[in-house]
Structure 1
Amino acid sequence: MSEIVTAGILVIGDEILSGRTKDKNIGFIAEYLTNIGIDLKEVRVVADDETDIVDALNALRKRYTYVFTTGGIGPTHDDITADSVAKAFDVGIGHHPEVVARFRERWSEQDLNEARLRMARVPDGAELIQSATILAPGFKLGNVIVMAGIPSIMQAMMDIVAPKLKSGVRMLSDSVRANAREGDIGGPLREIAIAHPDTIIGSYPFMDEDKRPNTNLVVRSRDPDKLNAAMTAVKEMLAALNVTTR
């Protein structure tokens, strides 16, 4: 079996922690990574504080194949992600000449102020993540991919960087509606999970159309045969409980 490729996400921004901005990036990145065979293992949210960013980044990049960061690469004083990444890798940082040249095409000398030039600061040795439609780039340094917090720009950056990433065997999944309460099937479901260690079995309660407690069961595995075996066991368990699945 191919190598399992893992990832963590580091969301950066006081506005996320205060609730002023509702994060829309985690779900998108998680689904994107699943679809290309990368397992998202951890998500952290930190404030616009250099020490917090550096500590979290160093922990995540040592643990996972890739780390994706969002936020903190704009023009304001609290956009300190680039500086924090440089510090984490112990490298210098400066205005990237290619980015500055693009800015000069967009803005006059008067408009190209210090704040806007902050967005051209990139750690030494980093690879730019940019396109004709992305003015201020993200960048990749080592196994860290630094992206914008604005969802539309972040999504464009994901499309650019994804083809260059390693990927593993894609996780397969199958699901069944249990038509039973979670507590009614928890015991036998645990036995199935123990009997099928190469699968991941999830139980997700919800209120159905009759406003009754119900449960969706999801089986995941990289091996289609093991996935089918575990799902068969789940359906047989439900049948033994006189549950009609659909």
Structure 2
Amino acid sequence: MSDIVTAAMIVIGDEILSGRTKDRNIGHLADMMTAVGIDLKEVRIVPDEEDEIAAAVNALRHRYDYVFTTGGIGPTHDDITADSVAKAFGVPCDYDAKAMALLSESYARRGIEFNDARKRMARMPVGATHIDNPVSAAPGFRIGNVHVMAGVPSIFQAMLDNVVPTLRTGAKLLSATVPCPHGEGIIGGPLAEIQKAHPDTIIGSYPKYLDGTFRTDLVVRARTQEALDAARKAVEEMVAALPPAA
């Protein structure tokens, strides 16, 4: 379908993989993409290693409409995302004149030395364009269909707010929830048959344990109201035909 737009995310950082930092950006991106009708199809978490980052960028940018990265664009030696993305695109990574001027003015205004470490935040692949950062001035960047943003959640969210209006969006997924008083073991078979009969929908089952019994929320998703209503009716009829819960 021409109105389906896809995206992937690369979360970069040894601190995520070690557990020292708990990621808060995946859920936010997923919420934002769903809201505008873009399907977030894949998320990869990679270490601070140039070859690993470049390989992930190249694998995903050719497969999906958009790629978003978070992390690794700060002032320290292990902030190598800009170099890695440049390597993936086969272009040099250099100091960007506009970013240098922006950061120089920002640090001067605050009376902070614009040292070599801080200047690293002005480096980006040649040919990249800025993603504005209203929180701390240091910009992210976009090159091709890859959007490179900070890992700090407040900065990532602010950058993403600037990116979303520039994206091509698709048909939004509609959804409906049918509560079921049984666990997945009882409904698995008939639910699979309903999914097979309604291939233009996505049907998910989400079990929960309440008051000593297993129950399941059955969520139907579709891009048209007609498809949603048809599949939801089939699920409701299936639930109604089940024996009463114990």
Shorter-chain TM-score range? over 0.9
Q: How far apart, CA to CA, are the structure 2 residues paired with 1:110 and 1:156?
A: 23
**25-34 or 128-137, which deviates more:** 128-137
User: Which runs of 5 or more structure 1 residues have no equivalent in the other structure?
Assistant: none
SS in 1 for 2:132: strand
Q: 1:174 aligns with which of 173, 176, 191?
A: 176
Distance 1:106 1:160 in 2: 20
- 3-state SS of the aligned residue for 2:114? coil
Post-superposition offset of 1:155: 0.5
SS at structure 2 position matched to 1:136: coil
Tell me, what secondary structure is at the counterpart of 2:56?
Answer: helix
Q: Structure 2 regions of 5+ residues with no counterpart?
A: none
CA distance in 2, matches of 1:25, 1:240: 41
Deviation at 1:20, TM superposition (A): 0.5
- Could you say which residue in structure 2 is the equivalent of 1:11? 11
Query: d(CA) in 2 for partners of 1:233 and 1:153?
Result: 44
- Match of 1:68, SS state, is strand
Residues 1-246 of structure 1 mapped to structure 2, 5 A cutoff:
2-108=2-108, 111-208=113-210, 210-242=211-243
The TM-score with structure 1 as length reference comes to 0.95
The verdict on how the C-alpha distance between 1:243 and 1:199 changes in structure 2, with shifts beyond 3 A counting, is farther
Residue identity opposite 1:191 in structure 2? E
Contact between 1:2 and 1:169, CA under 8 Å: does it hold in 2?
A: no
Q: CA deviation at 1:211?
A: 3.0
Tell me the amino acid that sits aligned with residue 121 of structure 1: R
Deviations 1:17-52 (A, max 9, x none): 000000000011011101111101111000000000
| Runs (4+) off by over 3 Å | 131-134
Q: Distance in 2 between the 1:110 and 1:65 partners?
A: 40
The Cα shift of 1:96 comes to: 1.3
Q: Is the 8 A contact 1:67 1:144 kept in 2?
A: yes
Kept after mapping to 1: 8 A contact 2:47/2:53: yes
Cα drift, residue 131 of structure 1: 4.4
Aligned residues: 243
Deviates more, 1:122-131 or 1:141-150: 122-131
- State TM-score, norm by structure 2: 0.95
- What root-mean-square deviation, in Å, do the aligned CA atoms of Structure 1 and Structure 2 show? 1.5
CA drift of 1:158 comes to 0.8
Q: Secondary structure at the match of 1:17?
A: helix
State the Cα distance separating 1:2 from its structure 2 match. 3.9
